[in-house]
A and B are shown apart, each in its own frame.
Chain A
Amino acid sequence: MAEKSNQPQVKIGHYILGETLGAGTFGKVKIAKHQLTGHKVAVKILNRQKLKSLDVVGKIKREIQNLKLFRHPHIIKLYQVMSTPTDIFMVMEFVAGGELFDYIVKHGRLKEVEARRFFQQIISGINYCHKHMVVHRDLKPENLLLDSFGSVKIADFGLSNMMHDGEFLRTSCGSPNYAAPEVISGKLYAGPEVDIWSCGVILYALLCGTLPFDDEHVPTLFRKIKSGIFAIPDYLSKEVVSFLCHMLQVDPLKRATISSIIEHEWFKKDLPAYLFPSPNDQDASIVDVDVVREVCDKFSVSEDDVHRAILSGDPHDQLAIAYNLIIDNQRMADETSKIDFHEFYLASSPPPESFLTASSPHRPAHPERMGEMKDINQTLDPVPSVGPGKTQPVPKKAKWHLGIRSQSKPQDIMHEVFRAMKSLNYEWKIINTYHVRARKRNSITNRFTKMSLQLYQVDQKSFLLDFKSLTHDAENNFNNEIDGHLTQSKSDDRMEIDGDSEGQCHQTLEFFEMCANLITALAH
């Protein structure tokens, strides 16, 4: 160890650290090589003291938690995280192609074919995030990296956040040029719609080489974003213009959704099948025997050791990490060859119709068959595309309302709510002037039923009191909440879910009871 050499080696875990690739706010990013397999990785070094002083510990924790379970060909993988007394080392997938931003700067505006290929990959990755209840919130070409095959990898989940059932996000974040109108105006948003807006801006940037909304003066920029008016160059095809306009809709409800994007003609063209696999294909439970042998050779362990390591699910396990690294590299190579193959055969033929049967012209003949039911489910969405039976008048139904409305002054409404809750012997916790949590003990089970009450403004005069059921889960601390959601997204963690949903079942009726009593008390 003491011998003199010009380039002494520094290792973290099994990785030999190399040159610095870049420096961020919290520390450096270095390239590193696995000492046995030789695989290159990027190591993001975060200084714990800096994280603390900038008060971003929670954010980083979220980023790590989110990324650790992610596995998608177009999202930068986080292989391992190591902590030391001073720094945290995030071992991530290394890609050699640089930022999509530099690519646009270097090549200028892209042809529609090329832009579409990038865009399809981006949407596929974002769809994956949203399915796992994560919103990226900072999508921009600077955060989209390119690998050596020219594929996009979504990076930097530093501003990402978890979506929770029934809850909205508010924090304004990300780069203003790519931020949706509701984000910059500090409104509440659900999540996916703000990523869609950013995707719209990215597509525009890919196609035009400029930004749809830009101004050095931030208030002017915000005005432009809120107006939703942007220049449409002549060279864009009609199809892509309608596509862009749909994604850059100021009204979040009218904005394109992932499902409407993947059904758009412009998007569907030359769409590789692997980007939107059917749910059954996503299971990666088959172990690759050759890769296991490769790991055995390199680590001189038995196959059993490797199998055990893979099954243990331990993300720190060296054998499991090595296995996954090799698999990922192989898979990417496979996918690229598949794309080539695909493109070769489809070069002059019409786009495949196999993707999404719902949009195919052949309507299922027997809708009552179970196999077909799934299909119908898709046409049930708000925008019914093909529905010959749609014209039939439906008998007038009673109309459902959210919560209860009032035209009193907001402070008076809240005061009445408190008085009503007191008369019912509820207990409460004040979150802010218009947001409280209430609970009531069930005298038989001795458990608390909890709900959240939030007053919203509907228009100039009227206000709305919203009731939301809180599961037992929501009352645990924040960390558990996140873990809960992530484990729910993994289908093999059934036991946990069973416990939770059983609790939820019981609660629904108790929640109704609590609401009904409060509504009745308020009416008096």
Chain B
Amino acid sequence: MGNSSSAKNRHTSGDETAPTLVAGRHDSTSMPVDDGNMYDPCVYKRARASTITPGAKSAQTTYSHGPRLLPTVFKWEGGGKDVYICGSFNNWKSKIPLVKSQGDFYTIVDLPEGEHEYKFYIDGNWVKDPSEPTKSNQLGTENNIVRVRNTDFEVFEALAIDSRNTHSSKKHESNEGGSPPGDYSQVIPVKQTGGKHTGPPFLPPQLLQIILNKDTPAHVEPSLLPEPNHVMLNHLYALSIKDGVMVLSATHRFRKKYVTTLLYKPI
């Protein structure tokens, strides 16, 4: 399932457009469960995010037939005593009661994908929620509408859409390893002179617990180094240049082990 790639296409707000992704999604829902992409390395590699959220196959599609139903929350915060909801999804035939929950009323209705009209019925009156989108029909009455999209039900997709909408304003923690925005270039920045500028951060002491400097007791295998701290991994350590030879080392994680590599380089 090209989760990651299709997510990229849907770059815009995600709140209005019915994404093209939907078609593809249906395909993936109809896939048999046991035919997971686990065994195909290529697919598996691309769809990494989806291995954690094997998405579209929800319980409804797996164990029952018919269109996939997606839970949709309806909430009424305008007060009242008896609150119901009614909509195009049940042909305006029956009124579904909302449950009171600390100041508001709510219910969850499983709806098929698409646009649905609905209206609240509060203490005998038909009311629309002014804070939700509305639409007027041929009869001239105005109803609330809700758009139910498959993408809203994939937790990580939904969160990805949400974060895309807010992300640009704020940068995330720079030490988290993701590639920062911007392009590579060869522009040397102008040196800041004068004014106050904060200095570089203090060296974290953990980086100086150099495993190669630690003594190995005489009775153990000398090539066995003490276990490194995860923060010292991937950093460059060096010996002072002596007799025209530069010696460099770095420790990397390899599966459940750590491997330290040394390079003796004449200069």
Shortest CB-to-CB span from B252 to chain A, Å, is: 6
Neighbouring A residues of B12 by C-beta, 8 Å: none
Residue from B54, B58, B220 with most neighbouring chain A CB atoms (10 Å): B220
- Given A84-B153, A381-B226, A457-B199, A402 contacting B210 (CB threshold 8 A): yes
Known: A23-B102, A252-B205, A469-B250. A312 touches B191 (CB 8 A): no
Taken together as a complex, chains A and B put the C-alpha atoms of A515 and B183 apart, in Å, by: 21
Complex contacts, B232 vs chain A, CB 8 Å: 166
For the complex of A and B, 5 pairs with smallest distance between CB atoms: A478-B178, A2-B94, A166-B234, A467-B236, A456-B203
Given contacts A81-B155, A433-B192, A456-B203, contact A384 B235 (CB under 8 A): no
Assess the A64–B200 pair: CB atoms within 8 A. no
Scoring A residues 157 to 174 as 1 if CB is less than 8 Å from chain B, else 0, what string do you get? 000011111111111000
Of A314, A376, A394, A468, chain B has the most CB atoms within 10 Å of the CB of: A314
Known: A88-B159, A380-B227, A402-B237. 17 other contacts (CB 8 A): A9-B99, A81-B155, A82-B155, A85-B148, A164-B177, A168-B231, A169-B173, A313-B51, A384-B217, A399-B240, A401-B210, A402-B207, A457-B203, A467-B235, A479-B156, A484-B48, A516-B248
Contacting residue for A439 out of B51, B184, B191, CB 8 A: B184
B residues contacting A by CB (< 8 A) are 4, 33-34, 36, 38, 41, 44-45, 48-49, 51-55, 57-59, 62-63, 70-73, 75, 90, 93-99, 101-102, 106-108, 146-149, 152-156, 158-160, 162-163, 165-167, 169-170, 172-180, 182-186, 188-189, 191-193, 197, 199-210, 212-221, 224-227, 229-240, 242, 246-250, 252-255, 261, 263, 265, 267
| Contact A188:B204 (CB < 8 A) given known A83-B155, A85-B72 | yes
Least Cβ–Cβ distance between A466 and chain B, in angstroms: 6
Collect the chain B residues with CB atoms within 8 Å of residue A133's CB: 230
With A23-B102, A432-B174 known to touch, is A516 a contact of B267 (CB < 8 Å)? yes
Q: Which residue of B lies closest to A11 (CB)?
A: B108
A64, A427, A501, A511: the one within 8 Å of B184 (CB):
A427
When A190-B229, A457-B202 are in contact, do A382 and B182 touch as well, CB less than 8 Å?
no
Our pick among A28, A253, A429, A458 for the contact of B182 (Cβ within 8 Å) is: A429
Are the C-beta atoms of B184 and A512 separated by less than 8 Å? no
Q: Is the CB–CB distance between A394 and B255 below 8 Å?
A: no
Residue on A nearest B148 in the bound complex, by CB: A85
Checking B54, B152, B236 against A469 with a beta-carbon cut-off of 8 angstroms, the contacting residue is B236
Contact B172 A48 (CB under 8 A): no
A103 is an interface residue with CB less than 8 A from chain B: no
Chain A 484-523 per-residue mask, 1 if CB under 8 angstroms from chain B, else 0 = 1011000001011101010010001101100110011000
Task: List, in ascending order, chain B residues with CB within 8 A of A410's CB.
Answer: 199-200
A contact residues, range: 35 or more
CA distance A378 to B64 in the complex (A): 54
- List of A residues within 8 angstroms of B220 by Cβ: 367, 376, 380
Q: Which residues of B contact A483 (CB under 8 A)?
A: 48-49, 51-52
Candidates B54, B99, B246; contact of A312 at CB < 8 Å = B54
Interface residues of chain A: helix, strand, loop or mixed (majority): mixed
Q: How far is the CB of B80 from chain A (nearest CB, A)?
A: 15
Q: Pick the contact of B57 from A166, A252, A314, A501 — CB < 8 Å?
A: A314
For A61, the closest partner residue in chain B by CB is B159
Instruction: Find chain B residues with CB under 8 A from A7 CB.
Output: 99
Listed by A's residue number, 9 A-B pairs whose Cβ atoms lie within 8 Å are A8-B107, A17-B99, A85-B147, A88-B155, A316-B58, A403-B238, A468-B234, A512-B248, A516-B263
Interchain CB contact under 8 A, A2 and B96? yes
B59 touching A13 by the CB < 8 A rule? yes
Which residue of A61, A479, A504 has the most chain B CB atoms within 10 A of its CB atom? A479
Partner of A57, one of B163, B209, B215: B163
Residues of A within 8 A of B238 (CB): 400-401, 403-404, 519
Contact B204 A187 (CB under 8 A): yes
Closest to A53 in B: B166
Using Cβ atoms and an 8 Å threshold, which residues of chain A touch B34?
A: 308, 311-312
Contact B180 A398 (CB under 8 A): no
Q: How far is the CA of A489 from the CA of B173 in the complex (A)?
A: 23
With a CB–CB cut-off of 8 A, which chain B residues contact A52? 162, 165-166
The B interface, classified by DSSP as helix, strand, loop or mixed, is mixed
Indicate with 1 or 0, residue by residue over A469-489, a CB within 8 angstroms of chain B CB atoms: 111001111111101101100
- Does A233 make an interface contact (CB < 8 A)? no
For residue A163, which residue of chain B has the nearest CB? Answer: B230
Indicate if the CB atoms of A58 and B163 lie closer than 8 Å: yes
Contact of A84 among B108, B159, B184, B236 (CB under 8 A): B108
For residue B221, give the distance in angstroms from its CB to the closest CB of chain A.
Answer: 8
Instruction: Closest B residue to A188 by CB, please name it.
Output: B204
- Alpha-carbon distance between A2 and B92 when the two chains are bound, in angstroms: 11
Q: Quick one: closest B residue to A507, CB to CB?
A: B252
Q: Which residues of B contact A497 (CB under 8 A)?
A: 255
Q: Considering the chains assembled together, what is the distance between the CA atoms of A390 and B242 in angstroms? A: 30
B152 touches which of A83, A309, A387, A428 (Cβ 8 Å): A83
Contact A253–B209 (Cβ < 8 Å)? yes
Say whether B71 contacts A82, CB under 8 Å: yes
A315 contacts chain B at the CB level, 8 A cutoff: yes
A435 to B182 alpha-carbon distance, docked (Å): 14
Could you say which residues of chain B place their CB within 8 Å of the CB of A470? Answer: 234
Q: Are A64 and B155 in contact (CB-based, < 8 A)? A: yes
What are the residues of chain B within 8 A of A475 when measuring CB–CB?
Answer: 179
By a CB distance below 8 angstroms, the chain A residues around B263 are 509, 512, 516
Given A1-B90, A308-B34, A418-B188 in contact, is the A381-B155 Cβ separation under 8 Å? no
Which residues in A have their C-beta under 8 angstroms from that of B206? 168, 190, 252-253
Q: Do A28 and B59 have beta carbons less than 8 Å apart?
A: no
Smallest CB separation, A196 vs chain B (Å): 13
A55 within 8 Å of B (CB atoms): yes
Closest Cβ of chain A to B262, distance in Å, is 9
Q: How far is the CA of A169 from the CA of B36 in the complex (A)?
A: 36
> What is the minimal beta-carbon distance from A209 to any residue of chain B, in angstroms?
33
Q: In the complex, what's the smallest C-beta–C-beta distance from B210 to chain A, in angstroms?
A: 5
Given A48-B162, A52-B166, A402-B207, A466 contacting B180 (CB threshold 8 A):
no
A5 proximity list for chain B (CB < 8 A): 97
A82 to B200, CA, bound (A): 44
Closest Cβ of chain B: how far from A472's Cβ, in Å? 11
Contact residues of A between 1 and 24, Cβ < 8 Å to B = 1-2, 4-5, 7-14, 17, 20, 23
Determine whether the beta carbon of B51 is less than 8 Å from that of A477: no
- Shortest Cβ distance from A297 into chain B, in angstroms? 15
- Cβ-defined contact, B236 with A51, below 8 A: no
Taking a contact as CB atoms under 8 Å apart, the answer to whether A312 and B36 are in contact is yes
Known: A165-B233, A380-B226. A55 touches B170 (CB 8 A): yes
**Least Cβ distance of B257 to chain A in Å?**
10
- Chain B residues whose CB sits within 8 angstroms of the CB of A20 once the complex forms: 101-102
